Structure 1
Amino acid sequence: MSKEWWKEAVVYQIYPQSFKDTNNDGIGDLNGIKEKLPYLKKLGIDVIWLNPIYQSPMVDNGYDISDYYAISPEFGTMSNFDALIFEAKKQGIKIILDLAVCATSSEHQWFLESKKSVDNPYSDYYIWRDAKPDGSEPNNWGSIFGGGSAWKWDENRKQYYLHLFATEMPDLNWANPKVRQEVYKNMRFWLDKGVAGFRLDSISLISKNQDFPDTPDVPEGEFGSPYFGASNGPHVHEYLQEMNREVLSQYDGLMTVGEATRTPVEKAVLYTDPVRKELNMIFQFDHMHVDYGEYGRYSDLRFKLSDLKKSMVQWQDKLHEHGWNSLYWNNHDQPRTVSRFGNDSEEFREKSAKMLATVLHFQQGTPFIFQGEEIGMTNANFNKIEEYRDLESHNMYQKFSDMGLPEEKVLTFLKYKSRDNARTPMQWDNTVNGGFSSYEPWISTNKNYSQINVASDLANSESIFYYYQKLIRLRKELPVMVDGEFTPVQMEDSAVFAYTRALNNEKLLIVGSFSDKRIRFELPTEFLDDPEIIMNNYDKAVQQNGVLYLRPYEAVVYRIK
């Protein structure tokens, strides 16, 4: 087995709570994932990335882990997990786990012990600091989830503990070698069970600046971003190299991807350059920031294609031969791609979903498909705050309301950007709750499930599903998709994203229109002489005298040899 099999792989992300419920409690489970393995095999994917399935009070939908060695009962048992690994292996599908080790749940035994006193064995497993002389927080860092300070006072210890996320998620102290060894021990436990690697949650935040400086330029009485002192901290690479040395390199052919919030491309090379022996790739967010507004991610702005292209091209260019890209449009923390970067109207949903898939999958890197993306699922379109389940969404609703923003505007922000957009149940068919569960789901099913579902896509040979299936198959057949050099084409075009991939004597031209109008696109000279078309989301490309006449959201891929 090649140690770099993950370069040729396509990953399918499963959000277990929302994938398939088999015991009718309204929550997806491990048996539901096992039941749908033949579907994933049909799609052609190689790897499943599972969002957290560990024991958790579910304050942050499983990222607040209270026991790293136990399966949360909502999802099933350890024997269910073992059966899933076994069945997936029979289908030729690997599984990687989501490991959240930046913070734990406040119900974790380590934290229950840590907060008892300043001199117990677990005292330094978390980040504790004294109050300022006036009793206030150690610095002005605010919680990433909104809702105020990133510090919480503990009356028993008479100290503050740090929580970059929810109050119930205290940050682990990675400066303590014992904490790191506990993490490595746990990783070995799951690797010995047969998982093929990890997605490491918020891994760029594990090393804090030990001076805990105030975030500058924050108005008096307000809280600033903790990224200032927590992102890409002083020892993060030292810790990851230790992790690689003690765990990752001890197992053959693992796949690792680190979530690296606020990591510019220059620093991404440090995480992903193979000679440094840290991670295979990272999730970066530059292209997720192109529609941010004055309040950050919660905005009602539409992106500019020029910004999107600039971001993606930069990552293709800077990581080429130095690291490896992860390719994604959406995940459990992001809105649905067809609603965000495409057009989710009845007229253009299918065409734009296929175009977006084309533009992404032909880039260099490992593609990640989020559940439902392969059938063009859309944003949730909730109209009331009561319909949302995400802690961050509720915190931001309260924050914006306290700022005096009109409720209509706040709900528009959530409708565009809430994490719940990705978390509505998988739409399997047109039966009750989209075939996800016969019981009321933990979060409402999107009302469009009777039109958008797996069953209807499987019955239609021209569906988004079969388009994704072909993209994945081509990746196995064309080495140029994996190893070819990426070169942008006509960067100044404000409606079209185009680039080439070249390897040896083979060259691909990928063209994707982001417009709902007809667009004129001049083909590069070398593609004028009747090249082969290997992908097109319309019946037949329209071209004449070296000009490609793109219809709304059209995607065309040419091949010359």
Structure 2
Amino acid sequence: MKPNVKWWKNAAINRRSWRWEDANNQQHNGHWWQHAVIYQIYPRSFQDTTGNGIGDLDGIIARMDYIASLGIDAIWLCPIFESPMKDMGYDITNMRVIDPLFGNIKDFDRLLKIAHNFGIKVLLDGVWNHTSDQHPWFVESRKNSDNPKADWYVWADAKPDGSPPNNWLSAFMGKSAWEWDEQRQQHYFYNFLASQPELNWHNPEVVAAILECAEFWLDRGIDGFRLDAVNFYIHDKHLRDNPIRLKNGIFPDGVNRDNPMVEHMFQFNFCRPENLELLKPIRELCDRYGDAVTLGEVTLCEDSIYLSGEYIKGKDRLHLVYNSALMAEKPMSANLMRETLKRVQQHFSEGGQCWMVGNHDYGRLRSRWTGVDANGQPYPDKFYCAIAALLLSLPGALCLYQGDELGLSEGKIPEDIPEDKIQDPFGQALYPIVSGRDGSRTPMPWSGDLSNAGFTDSKEPWLPIPQKHLSQAVDRQNADPDSLLNTWRKLLHWRKQQPALIAGNFRLIDTPEPVLGFIREYADQRLLCLFNLSDEPVKYDLSVHSKYTPETSLGFDSKLRQNVLELPEYGVFFANLEL
């Protein structure tokens, strides 16, 4: 469904910006990315303008008014590069060319300029760990063992019995991470799909080639990269076997325990300590472009908070990093969040944390942080409004995945997505043991009444749109001032006015379960933040604090009598404390 927006095709690049930032936002010390809210866009599911059932760059441009209305600081676009799409664009054949499925370089340049006119930064997905097996680099590499690119990928001989070089397992396929190549008569290594061979980052020529691709986009004016699978770049040169994981051992954050890959500890195929040295030339390149940012993905590791903290230490590694600490499929609680915050404070003492609670690789936030109340009812929108307030009060940056601002739940197989409509290769390989990632990738519901929810004019979108999402469509929530979408908007704009939330320090305070409490402080603002993450009212004694002024503009209910605060179920309370 092509949106009824006329200006976007020929928009004047110098049109007056619609900026939601206020002047106060410029006065705080630090860089924009230190406190940014980054809106993640999965282009093929955002907005289709060509009628082929797949979202495109013009669709993002057409919805730029919506994106700007949220009050976010930047957008991160999942891969839009030339690809055979065996892994929905994470298998790239040319890192400098836009795939025709999404548009062309002129479309991208227009998107970039219009986003900048709205005051929105643009990050591209740096998929630099691997390429498609159809990439010209790999086509040459597989010819023989003495061509100029022979060592650009990870090749190894079979064992004497013909079996793979070691016991490494693929993260996606649940089988050996080695694929025999008849042409070269060797195995090549892949961490994800066999069609995604791993680049050999031990080879300086590979590093130089990747940096040249990055420089190409930085020269076009982008504001940085999200670095896909950044902890996967380096493998053990000696190809040692991974140790078997003990049944009572530590499991990686956010990984389904039924996934065959967790049979082994992730010690030698990725998460290598020597990987940290490779961050330096990437950081050096981006720093040459002023405030260009590197946002690293550090996941599938036994302790993602600790390891991700290593990736931002000092001034010569990454600027920001996110991990999978909050990606688990279990209910949120004050205690869980409190313990996570303590560990983040320990390992991110200099900042650099980007909070991630949902993306295209994990189940929807609403379906992971879920449960039932005392009456057996699913958590209401009020709970997710409290979560929005909590996330936007934390120190550091935040990634918000498209649709999470609407409270979309996971598309389920087969109820919402028939088994024969599964698109994700991970799901195709392992369903029903693992459902895959299609459930969080269903198209955005723009209208509760239009065909295909206003996403496309096509008879059939690339993934089905769950019927249950229609009641949460953008137009329905726009019309409700108390909707989750409008709560996110209100909070995002309010946050920009709070120096303590933008640049302030952070201190946890003692609060009884189920209340989570902390204080943010910067210059002449000291902000008390309290959250009741339960379905029962709780009381909190405010007399332990100095004089306070409650924040009443956000619409959160609470009762205050003689310094005793009663927080309702899933209640939120902010107050400015006297210094």
Flag whether TM exceeds 0.5 (same fold). yes
Match of 2:484 among 457, 464, 467: 464
The alpha carbon displacement at 1:374 in A equals 1.5
State the AA in 1 paired with 2:327: M
Identity %: 32
Residues in 2 aligned to 1:207 and 1:67: alpha-carbon distance in whole angstroms: 21
Residues in 1 aligned to 2:421 and 2:67: alpha-carbon distance in whole angstroms: 30
Deviates more, 1:380-389 or 1:56-65: 380-389
Report Cα offsets for 1:410-436 as digits up to 9, x if no partner.
xxx63xxx4222201011111111111
For residue 257 of structure 1, what is the aligned residue in structure 2? 295
Match of 1:520 among 538, 544, 547: 538
Closer, same or farther: CA 45–64 of 1 in aligned 2, 3 Å: same
Counterparts of 1:236-255 in structure 2, within 5 Å, are 236-245=275-284, 247-255=285-293
8 A Cα contact 1:12 1:371, kept in partner: yes
For residue 542 of structure 1, what is the aligned residue in structure 2? 559
Residues in 1 aligned to 2:454 and 2:91: alpha-carbon distance in whole angstroms: 29
For residue 269 of structure 1, what is the aligned residue in structure 2? 309
For residue 43 of structure 1, what is the aligned residue in structure 2? 70
8 A Cα contact 1:209 1:229, kept in partner: yes
Counterparts of 1:153-302 in structure 2, within 5 Å, are 153-217=180-244, 224-225=263-264, 227-245=266-284, 247-261=285-299, 262=301, 264-273=304-313, 275-289=314-328, 291=329, 302=331
* 1:551 equivalent in alignment to 2:568: yes
RMSD: 2.4
Match of 1:356 among 359, 369, 387: 387
Closer, same or farther: CA 356–343 of 1 in aligned 2, 3 Å: farther
8 A Cα contact 1:21 1:28, kept in partner: yes
Residues in 2 aligned to 1:78 and 1:526: alpha-carbon distance in whole angstroms: 58
For residue 8 of structure 2, what is the aligned residue in structure 1? none
8 A Cα contact 1:142 1:149, kept in partner: yes
**Which SS does the other structure have where 2:472 is aligned?**
coil
Report Cα offsets for 1:217-237 as digits up to 9, x if no partner.
269xx8744732133324312
Deviates more, 1:158-167 or 1:446-455: 446-455
State the AA in 1 paired with 2:364: R
**Which SS does the other structure have where 1:229 is aligned?**
coil
**Which SS does the other structure have where 1:282 is aligned?**
strand
Residues in 2 aligned to 1:535 and 1:513: alpha-carbon distance in whole angstroms: 19
Match of 1:10 among 37, 43, 49: 37
Residues in 2 aligned to 1:146 and 1:504: alpha-carbon distance in whole angstroms: 52
**Which SS does the other structure have where 1:97 is aligned?**
strand
State the AA in 2 paired with 1:272: I
The alpha carbon displacement at 1:534 in A equals 4.6
Give the TM-score, by structure 2 length: 0.86
Match of 2:423 among 385, 389, 398: 389
**How many residues get paired?**
527
Residues in 1 aligned to 2:491 and 2:544: alpha-carbon distance in whole angstroms: 24
For residue 47 of structure 2, what is the aligned residue in structure 1? 20
Deviates more, 1:191-200 or 1:502-511: 502-511
For residue 551 of structure 2, what is the aligned residue in structure 1? 533
Deviates more, 1:500-509 or 1:76-85: 500-509
Residues in 2 aligned to 1:302 and 1:234: alpha-carbon distance in whole angstroms: 33
The structure with the largest helix share of the pair is 1
For residue 333 of structure 1, what is the aligned residue in structure 2? 361
Residues in 1 aligned to 2:555 and 2:503: alpha-carbon distance in whole angstroms: 24
For residue 519 of structure 2, what is the aligned residue in structure 1? 500
The alpha carbon displacement at 1:535 in A equals 6.2
8 A Cα contact 2:491 2:554, kept in partner: no
For residue 121 of structure 1, what is the aligned residue in structure 2? 148
The alpha carbon displacement at 1:153 in A equals 0.6
8 A Cα contact 2:245 2:265, kept in partner: no
For residue 95 of structure 2, what is the aligned residue in structure 1? 68
Counterparts of 1:437-516 in structure 2, within 5 Å, are 437-439=456-458, 440-490=460-510, 493=513, 495-515=514-534
Residues in 2 aligned to 1:319 and 1:198: alpha-carbon distance in whole angstroms: 21
State the AA in 1 paired with 2:33: W
8 A Cα contact 1:348 1:553, kept in partner: no
Closer, same or farther: CA 304–367 of 1 in aligned 2, 3 Å: closer
Deviates more, 1:519-528 or 1:550-559: 519-528
State the AA in 1 paired with 2:389: T
Closer, same or farther: CA 388–546 of 1 in aligned 2, 3 Å: farther
8 A Cα contact 1:14 1:51, kept in partner: yes
Closer, same or farther: CA 201–264 of 1 in aligned 2, 3 Å: same
State the AA in 1 paired with 2:457: S
**Which SS does the other structure have where 1:11 is aligned?**
strand
Gapped runs of 5+ residues in structure 2? 1-25, 247-259
The alpha carbon displacement at 1:504 in A equals 4.0
Closer, same or farther: CA 441–523 of 1 in aligned 2, 3 Å: farther
